[in-house]
Amino acid sequence: MKEWSYDAEALTLERAFLCGDAACFVDPLFSQGVHLAMYSAMLAAAAIGHLLENAEDYEPVQRWYERSYRAVYGQYHKFLCAFYSDNEQPDSQFWSSRKLAGRDDKRIQGAEWLSTLTGEDVGGPANGSRRNEIEDLEEGASLLATLWRHSTPDLDAGVDEKELALRRVRWASGILKDLKKTRQIRWAGEHVDVASSFEVGRESFRLERRLYLADPQGRAMTAHPVTAAHRELFESLIPEPLHYDVLAARLGKMDGHVSPLEMIMRLIEDGFLDALDKSGKPYRMPRVLRFAGVGGHDSFS
């Protein structure tokens, strides 16, 4: 039993892009290595194709590749640390060792890869809140396990997709009910910023420029691209917060890949939006470790 994971200090070297195990590795017991290899190859191919025609974008494309691949690697790593620390298998030597490895992982101590989950800057919060970050991670893993857990312990029994789908629907419906009960939703900052970056087109597989919501600290919510209309709508929430129903209706009329509920949920999770209850206190959404659709747009379905 040992710490198997590693990641290179740099994922791009001059004109080279590191892919698959040349860039990083997580765990030998899960099949995520195949996904990471194929996903990073797709990112690298799109990056190289773009640079052959737009050599002036060399540095921003390298930064995009580094950030995109590390985000997916970090998401897998968070999932595995959470899985091992939350798993309810018998207390064998194997599971005990893996629990310790997950909880004492250097990336939890460093908190750098927790920035997306916790909404903190890349530098990480003060040491005093480290315990809370670990608790948040394990709370999210526990909720994810609840949504994915099969009703039978028999590994040969198969998966009841209907049961799991209904469980996720009930979970999302509960959050929707909570949001409808809140008094208003407002933008958490003093103004709305946007950051320009890239995304691999879903049909073209070419690198395409996108805009993402950002804050003055430089954090960008890259799960969902936005338009100028999105920015204008969120800016209007600063002087005039809206009820969930009104905000969702306006978002529903705009172009986007996700439902208004999912986008609002993600913005609340990442600290860009505040949903206030009748007493004026922020609503604390149940934190779930996001894992579905790794490398693409997040989806609770």
pLDDT digits (tens, 9 = 90+) for 83-138: 665 554 555 444 454 443 444 455 444 444 444 333 444 333 333 444 466 666 66
The model's pTM is 0.72
CA distance 284 to 260: 18
> Exposed, middle or buried: residue 225 (CB in 10 Å: 0-12, 13-18, 19+)?
buried
Maximum average pLDDT range among 155-159, 160-164, 168-172, 279-283 = 279-283
Domains of the chain with bracketed CATH? 6-149 (no CATH), 157-301 (3.30.390.160)
Distance CA 74, CA 58 (A): 24
pLDDT digits (tens, 9 = 90+) for 189-226: 888 999 888 989 878 889 999 898 988 777 788 778 89
Q: Which of 193, 227, 230 is nearest to 210 (CA)?
A: 227
**CA 274 – CA 285 distance, rounded (Å):** 10
What confidence score (pLDDT) does residue 298 get?
44
Report the SS3 class of residue 194: strand
